[in-house]
Amino acid sequence: LIVVIAIIGVLAAILVPAMLGYVRKSKVSGANSAANTIQKAINTALTELDEEGEDIGVYKSVSGKATLTLSTTSTGTDDVNTRFNRKIKNYMDKLGQYEVFGIIEGGVCQAVACYKDSTYTGTSPAGVVNPENYSEYAGSAKYKTAAAAAYKLATGKEITISGT
């Protein structure tokens, strides 16, 4: 019985850290997937607004819990920010669970960073946050830095974001 307990203890000592690594990889992958979905929703909403005659402009940022804001003037009677938010929420109903920061340039969302809890941030394009460096971009204090890194990965250009 003592030998069996010792074997179980050794196996547990080996498997628990490995399992924690799998959980971390899964959380980072999920956050990156959410950022990719949000980026696609933003680009679809921007395309629809462009088809409706809105001038999105050269560079705008979108941020906020469940509300993404464009700083632009509306040509219609309905506020462009309201329509933009409504369109994005139509494509991603769980958007309200995420804090999001995106970089829009030339009417296209180039990069997005989002986080759902205080630990895991995801980016699109992926490749910025990984299981080894996830703590560097954790939470609301650093997810804009992750967006800037994703923008550099996508475009090759540096960007400075205030508040990072």
Residue 109 and residue 123 in contact, taking contact as beta carbons nearer than 8 Å: no
Quick one: which of 84, 153, 72 has its CA closest to 112? 153
Residue type, 135: S
Class of residue 97 by CB neighbours under 10 A (exposed 0-12, middle 13-18, buried 19+): middle
Q: Would you state the pLDDT for residue 58?
A: 40
Q: How far is CA 155 from CA 81, 108, 112, in A?
A: 26, 12, 13
d(CA 1, CA 130): 42
- pTM value is 0.74
Q: What is the pLDDT of residues 116-148, one digit of tens each?
A: 777 888 899 988 988 888 888 887 678 888 888
Span 8-41, pLDDT tens digits: 999 989 888 878 788 888 888 988 998 898 889 8
